Amino acid sequence: MVDGETREQPFEIRMDPRIKASDEDLKAQFDLMVDIRDLAAEVVDTLLRIREARRGVVDVRIELQEESSDEADAILKELRQIEGLLMVWAGSEAHPMMHSPPGLTEKLNSLADAVSSGDAKPTASMYAVFADLTERFEFQQHRLNQLIEQKLTPMLSGEQEE
């Protein structure tokens, strides 16, 4: 619409003729990218849950008796281990350039880059990597759930064993 006058022209959207992938191949690529995005979002949600749990432990740690304080330290260590498997540690103020191996977030980003690098159906290897990363994440998520249910919740509610 320009100056109150509307003009219309029909048009057709066509695929780039240089692309040899079928519509089914491109849909498979899109579907895998959506699955990767969804898993990455779950990983981030889990990382936030870990950080919330760590804050809870740190908040009550000061008030605990020494043996319970040791238990809190063990929980903090395990939370850090799980978090370290889900993402790269970028170091500390003392060692800012130290890095750990890539975590699941970095591996998912690399997989997303590979899947989206061309207009083609994902390879069997890409699906296998996604399945492996999903399994690894589910294991760590289960580990976190058990830690929270069996150790963290009793500690925070004052129900630890004497």
Instruction: Tell me the pLDDT tens digit for each residue of 92-126.
Output: 556 555 556 678 999 999 999 999 999 999 999 99
Q: In the numeric block, which tokens belong to residue 5?
A: 């006058």
Altogether, the residues listed in the chain come to a count of 162
* Rounded Cα gap, residues 83 and 55, in angstroms: 14
> What residue ranges of the chain have pLDDT lower than 70?
65-68, 89-101, 159-162
φ/ψ (deg, to 5) at 119: -95, 85
Residue 12 lies in a domain: no
φ/ψ (deg, to 5) at 134: -65, -45
| Structural domains of the chain, count | 1
Domain extent at residue 92: 23-109+118-156
Q: Name 5's bridge partners.
A: 2
Residue 16 lies in a domain: no
